[in-house]
Amino acid sequence: MEALILLGLLTTGSAAGVLGALFGLGGGFIFVPVLMLAFGLAPAEAISVSLIGIIAGSVGASTVFVDKGTANVRLGLLLEITTAAGAIIGALIAGLLEDWILMCIFSAVVLYSGIRMALNPEKVIEPAEGSDGRFAFGYEDDGGKEIRYEVQNVKGGMAICTAAGMVSSMTGVGGGAVKVPLMNLYMHVPIKAASPTSSYMIGITAFSGAITYFLAGTVLLEYAAGIAIGAFAGSLAGTALSKRIHAKHLRRYFSVLLFAVALLVLLQAGGIL
Amino acid sequence: MNLNRSTAMTLRIGIAIGMAMIAAGLAMSVLGYGDAVLSAGILVLILSPLAGAIVSFIALASEKDWFWTSVAAMLLAITAIGMVIAALRCPK
């Protein structure tokens, strides 16, 4: 492998790793088009390398976020059940619906989430005093203050995760871009917990796909290695950076990022990317 | 067994071993010594999130937190089902 290609892979991986750790996005929306357009990989090759990069970024960020307690492991496991179920359903019915239709729907949902994120201030429901409800959680913010929140609309959130899992397994885009706004806007999880929780979940989501590609032998190992090393380093940088960003600003940046994701996916749907 | 600490520790061990093997394996592969180490390193990395979820399940069970233990168990079960279906649909 040429040094220049390796450098390119490391850079791409780091950029996606930073974004992943900051916002809870996997980075598939960066990896797949870049690997295909800049590195000339076939779609299946690009997706398999992308999945391994997503795992490296997710696990890297989670070593910090899970330890700190900002990533909510319990909530992550719960939402991952229906996400995984949706992914299986999606894989089984793939081909029944045109990919571009799904991508347009996805794009519209992400755009809507971005607008809501930009306009509506964060609303966190504090658990009642002394309440020890099943869905009452807390974490310590960067100033050492205890933040408590009670997760709302749990059943609805699980149902939407089924749809998100279906779409992402059928189109290869978007776990985090749906899950973070879902947790933040609909389930009232603070953004400082929603993004790390999504970062954590994304690794588990990517696992199933990655192991399938790995066992089938379609993974380009050297490409995967370059992307994974970059994504891991980027994710650690991202966790350090996330401490310096205030929740209000994080949400604003997130909404901008969602608009970019919506546009990118729309371009992919139109066959331009 | 603390849920967050044990899960994070598992992920840390997985990524440390995986990354060390990937870096060494990439160097070996580029220098023409074959890609066995690289391949094994990638496999360790891929398995890390699953290992984390398994340890979460054990930690929740040790806390006798049965609601959340069953949540973790359901996730592991559905992941296993997904893998079986993927293996059946993808005959190499």
- Which amino acid makes up residue A18? V
DSSP letter at A134 equals T
b/e string for B5-35 if b means 16 or more Cβ within 10 A? ebbbbbbbbbbeebbebbbebbebbbeeeeb
According to the 3-state scheme, what is the secondary structure of A209-251?
A: HHHHHHHHCCCCHHHHHHHHHHHHHHHHHHHHHHCCCCHHHHH
Residue B79 contacts A where some CB pair is shorter than 8 Å: yes
Mean pLDDT of A92-96: 77
Question: What residue type is B65 in one-letter code?
Answer: D
Residues 6+ apart with CB under 8 A from A34: A12
Q: Determine the pLDDT at residue A240.
A: 95
Minimal CA separation from A156 to chain B, in Å: 17
pTM: 0.94
CB neighbourhood size of A43 (10 A): 11
What pLDDT is recorded for position A43?
85
Q: How many CB pairs under 8 A join A and B?
A: 144
- Contact between chains at B71 and A78 (C-beta distance less than 8 A): yes
Average pLDDT over residues B31-42: 96
Angle at A88 between CA A168 and CA B15, to 5 degrees: 70
ipTM of the complex: 0.95
DSSP A144: S
Domain encompassing residue B43: 3-89
What is the pLDDT averaged over residues B63-75? 96
- Tell me the pLDDT tens digit for each residue of A31-63: 888 999 999 999 889 989 999 999 999 999 999
**Does the beta carbon of B42 lie under 8 angstroms from any beta carbon of chain A?**
yes
Tell me if A88 and B81 make a contact (CB, 8 A cut-off): yes
CB contact under 8 A, A222 and B78: no
Looking at the 3D structure of chain B, how many domains does it have? 1
Q: Which pLDDT value is given to residue A173?
A: 67
Closest CA to A46 of A164, A173, A165, A167: A173
